Chains A and B, each alone.
Chain A
Amino acid sequence: MAHLTNPLATPSQLYALTTLNSPLPIDLQHSIRFYTARLTQAAGLLLRLPQDITAQANVLLYRYWLVDPLLAWEFSDVSAATLYLTAKISASPRTLRSITNVYTYLLSLPTFPSPTTPAPTAPPDPESYYLSETAYTTYRNRLLNIEGQILNALSFTTHVSLPHPLAITYLQTLSIFSLPPAVSTRVAKRTIAHLNTALLSPQMLYLTHQPPALATAAIYLAAREEGVKLPDGEWWTVFDVEREELGFLCVGMRSLEGFVEEERRRWEGRGVLTREGVRGEMGKLGLNNEVGNGVEEDEESQMARLLDEKVGAVST
């Protein structure tokens, strides 16, 4: 059923990501995906959007970045545009004004909110996130332009099938809810938490696996972590998941913790990740950061540039 499946990334698309985003190093790509997805998540909360809308927005975000380069647009703009688009076709749309307000607020924060950073003592100065009418118009037009880009890149495939409802069904099928409520609730919550966390995965698990597999893996992990025994035998095959896929997903989901830890060490205490910040980081790494202004460098000029650099390096 088309409702239950998602379009997936093809291996060649995943492979092409390196060249698509060149010369952005892979770890920075990961950071961009992770932090932008978190930004969407934060905006979704502030906009009081149901989590399924926010989750779908993040899936669309990753889908879009499979087709267009990460540096083509400001990250927060892409995030805002996907969120707007997703909400627009849902039952809980949000106005562009609300969206731009929320993003302006988030961008104004000196430190991106995170569970580990202490909450600021004083509320931020309202003037720091006031969006004037002209600024709003500019912002809006920018977002609408990106919306068009996203639709075009996705060929209007805006339907996203989420594993969350499936996971609940699966838990019921596995009779988890016949356990004591305290236990079953913990397992269910943990399952959903895994699914939501997987949205942030730089491995783009939602683009490489169908919802049944994601749901199954989340249940598997949650049950293990909560010490709940699941049926003997390969119960996951009932849900159309093969052992290898399950194993891969479990590793993928578990690895997120270490990844986040590393990201935090690298970016802790900074505001929203922007192209500016990424370019700065690239500068530190000694990478050319001329590219990425939304203008793609074609192969020829890239070659010429590399050649110039080589020559320059030799002659000095």
Chain B
Amino acid sequence: METPTHPPSPPGDFVAFAREHTRPQNRFVGCSRITDYEILGKLGEGTFGEVHRAKSKKTGAIVALKKILMHNEKDGFPITALREIKLLKLLSHPNVLKLEEMAVEHHSKPSAKKRAIMYMVTPYMDHDLSGLLENPGITLTEPQIKCYMLQLLEGLRYLHDNHILHRDMKAANLLISNKGILQIADFGLARHYDEPVPVAGCGGGQARRDYTSLVVTRWYRPPELLLHLRKYTTAIDMWGVGCVFGEMLTGKPILAGDSDANQLKIIFELVGTPTDENMPGWRNLPGAEGLKFPPHPPTIAQRFREAGSGAISLLNELLKLDWKKRVNAIDALKHPYFRNAPLPARAGDLPVMEDSHELDRRKFRGQKAAPPPAPKGGTVGMGVGNWGGEPTANGHAGFGNGDNYAYRQQNGGRYPPHGGHRNGVPPPPPPPIDDRRRAWERHRDDRPDTRLPPRPPPADYPPYDGSRDRPDGYRSRSRDLDRDRAPPRSRAGAPSVDTYIPSYGPDGGRRDDRPPRDDRPPRDDRPLRDDRPPRDDRLSRERDDRPRRRDDRDERRHENRDRDRLDYDERSRHSRTRSRSRSPIRDRERERVREREPLERPYDRDRDVYRR
């Protein structure tokens, strides 16, 4: 049989050329062992698990190991993880984070009950864009911004050209190495799309089928998704690029809405209210019913006047209300902005930036979470948890319970809690009260800037109300199953503020270390916009965004913790309850919930998700 070894081919033999240049995947060797890596330290808690920096003993390369815990999943290996892994294995582009391989860690005493722990091995990246922007010591220059934008657009063009919608474009999912390379990470929400790929000059094209509109982190969610367009296109990712671009220009998220309604409002304040000209068909979108906004002129030019006309022009293209006319990646790459002085820097020429990694960022921000190397969000799964850091730190005694949680995303047990569970909604355990407030405050300041809502929670938004029931139902159901002792939750409860605080408890010390962030503009204004009663609520809401992503396990964990520690006060209890009940589920969660009809059957959920 001739196949395995191909005879040397004559020059000009395209077959041979192609063979030599395909991604080496011609083997199934099994996963490598975790012992093939030398763990160099924890980078932090990603959204769905811990991330470690490690050195490959085989190649010497520094990698990031992201843990996917195999828990007692009713449906076996989590489908979202499988899907993401499958996608990542098919992709190969300098601006898309590469999945090097999977590594497995066997338990020392193998038993039928405990499953092995799987790690996703990706190259180690020094920063993520969100963390970079948060670092007060780092200011991006215009050539640098152009350089990153070009890489981002290149990566996105590749994805779109390969029929992939990323669906979670945001600064936190863009990883940057000290060599100036930007890579798109986190394919937990990504999916294949059926329509023809974008072509130059034609925007995102036309969608033929429905997809779920419950995707993309709120701050980066395009208006058509906020209005529940189901037939969306690659244009949704381009809106996210626009948001990221604005974020790079200003150093903080430009559209940090605290509810879906508020998100729409501030979008329209920035780009103008929709009309039949600038957003044809918007009136017919399901979410547009009954919406009224006082006419508001666009303020982009004003808000970004310091960035120059080229940047404003590109921003206008990316943040176009009309999704059919919004620029696609191919055309955006040709935008004059990239050809005018100052020219984009070459990646290699970029300054090596302060190692603003997770831990460093923590200094600034307190709870950072996801380590840059690992995509936080959905990498494996579903929801983004909180960003990370939430400190559920390790070692907290209360966390031990993790094992018992049957949570889809796994993460179970051996490792204590990490903060970011993507799945669920996690009520955090109450920390000492004193810390609490402070944590909040701090949190609030920091949060907004960057990574706030990883994936925005749905609940606040009236239009979602209909759907809210389901998620709630779902959650509560699982909650009930999982923890009998859970205190009753009531919607009327107090604001959820405290709820989350607890999760910081363990981390409190760390956070306290952070210097106050005076350098950043106070974000209080944003919360004020919110129509809700002021109070801690605001904070809590913001907070909610993140924590919500955690899953039941977290919740339960907290629960347990609560049980264990009686020191929380009335208020916290209150809030806890409240938050839980009302807390919107994060997008992913939401998505899942929504999509599956029968709540009882997680399986269906997944299937539905996949189909959309």
* A interface, CB within 8 angstroms of B: 1-3, 5, 7-11, 13, 63, 66-67, 84-85, 88-93, 95-96, 141, 143-145, 147-148, 151-159, 208-210, 213, 240, 242, 244-245, 248
Contacts and interface: CB of A to CB of B under 8 A. Distances in A.
Contacts, number: 124
A85 B1 contact: no
A2 B75 contact: no
Contacts of B73: 144
Contact of A3 (B31, B90, B104, B611): B90
A7 B24 CA distance: 8
Contact of A147 (B76, B83, B610): B76
B4 A66 contact: no
A156 B92 contact: no
B59 interface: no
Contacts of A208: 1, 3-4
Q: Which of B15, B28, B82 has the most CB of A within 10 A?
A: B28
B116 interface: yes
Contact of A89 (B18, B30, B31, B86): B86
Interface of B: 1-5, 15, 18, 22-23, 25-32, 70, 73, 75-77, 79, 82-83, 85-86, 89-92, 101-102, 104, 112, 115-116, 118, 162, 601, 603, 606-607, 610-611
A245 B29 CA distance: 24
B31 A156 contact: yes
A90 B32 CA distance: 26
A66 B607 CA distance: 30
26 contacts: A7-B26, A11-B4, A63-B28, A67-B30, A88-B79, A88-B606, A89-B86, A89-B610, A93-B603, A145-B112, A151-B31, A152-B104, A154-B30, A155-B29, A155-B31, A155-B102, A156-B31, A156-B85, A156-B86, A157-B89, A158-B85, A159-B89, A209-B3, A213-B3, A248-B2, A248-B3
A154 B86 CA distance: 12
A148 B115 contact: yes
A5 B22 contact: yes
Nearest to A146: B76
Given A1-B22, A156-B89, 17 more contacts: A7-B28, A10-B4, A11-B4, A84-B76, A85-B82, A88-B79, A88-B82, A89-B79, A96-B76, A141-B112, A143-B76, A148-B77, A148-B116, A156-B85, A157-B28, A159-B89, A240-B15
A85 B82 CA distance: 9
Contacts of A245: 1-3
Q: Which of A13, A63, A148, A245 has the most CB of B within 10 A?
A: A148
A66 B28 CA distance: 9
A119 B248 CA distance: 70
A103 B104 CA distance: 30
B25 A91 contact: no
B28 A148 contact: no
B23 A2 contact: yes
Contacts of B86: 89, 156, 158-159
Contacts of A84: 76
Nearest to B87: A159
Given A91-B611, A144-B76, A155-B29, A2 B22 contact: yes
A67 B28 contact: yes
Contacts of B3: 8, 208-210, 213, 245, 248
A7 B31 contact: no
B30 A153 contact: yes
A281 to B, nearest CB: 28
Contact of A242 (B2, B26, B606): B2
Contacts of B91: 2
Main secondary structure of the interface of B (DSSP, over half): loop
A5 to B, nearest CB: 6
B2 A148 contact: no
Contacts of B27: 7-8, 10, 13
A148 B110 CA distance: 13
B76 A85 contact: yes
B556 to A, nearest CB: 22
A11 to B, nearest CB: 5
Nearest to A81: B76
Given A147-B76, A156-B85, A2 B2 contact: no
Contacts of A141: 112
Q: Which of B15, B30, B86, B610 has the most CB of A within 10 A?
A: B30
A242 B1 CA distance: 11
Contacts of A8: 3-4, 26-27
Contact of B82 (A3, A63, A158, A209): A158
A143 B1 CA distance: 35
Contacts of A91: 610-611
Nearest to A151: B77
B76 A154 contact: no
B212 to A, nearest CB: 14
Nearest to A14: B4
Q: Which of B73, B82, B101 has the most CB of A within 10 A?
A: B82
Contacts of B4: 8-11, 208
A63 B75 CA distance: 22
Nearest to B23: A2
Contacts of B89: 2, 156-157, 159
Nearest to A154: B28
B76 A153 contact: no
The 10 closest A-B pairs by CB, nearest first: A244-B2, A93-B607, A144-B76, A147-B76, A155-B31, A2-B90, A156-B102, A154-B28, A156-B85, A11-B4
A213 B15 CA distance: 12
Contacts of A90: 610
Nearest to B606: A93
A242 B5 CA distance: 12
A62 to B, nearest CB: 10
B599 to A, nearest CB: 15
A2 B92 contact: yes
B344 to A, nearest CB: 29
Contacts of A157: 25, 28, 89
A210 B601 CA distance: 38
B603 A95 contact: yes
Nearest to B601: A95
A87 to B, nearest CB: 9
Nearest to B91: A2
Contact of B70 (A7, A148, A159, A242): A148
A149 to B, nearest CB: 10
B25 A7 contact: yes
A2 B76 contact: no
B28 A88 contact: no
Contacts of B5: 11
Contacts of B112: 141, 145
A248 B3 CA distance: 9
Contacts of B22: 1-2, 5
A271 to B, nearest CB: 27
Nearest to A237: B15
B90 A159 contact: yes
Contacts of B32: 155
Nearest to B115: A148
Contacts of B75: 88, 96
A235 to B, nearest CB: 15
Contacts of A7: 25-28
Contacts of A213: 3
B1 A248 contact: yes
Given A89-B86, A208-B3, A148 B30 contact: no
Contacts of A1: 22
A98 B89 CA distance: 29
Nearest to A145: B112
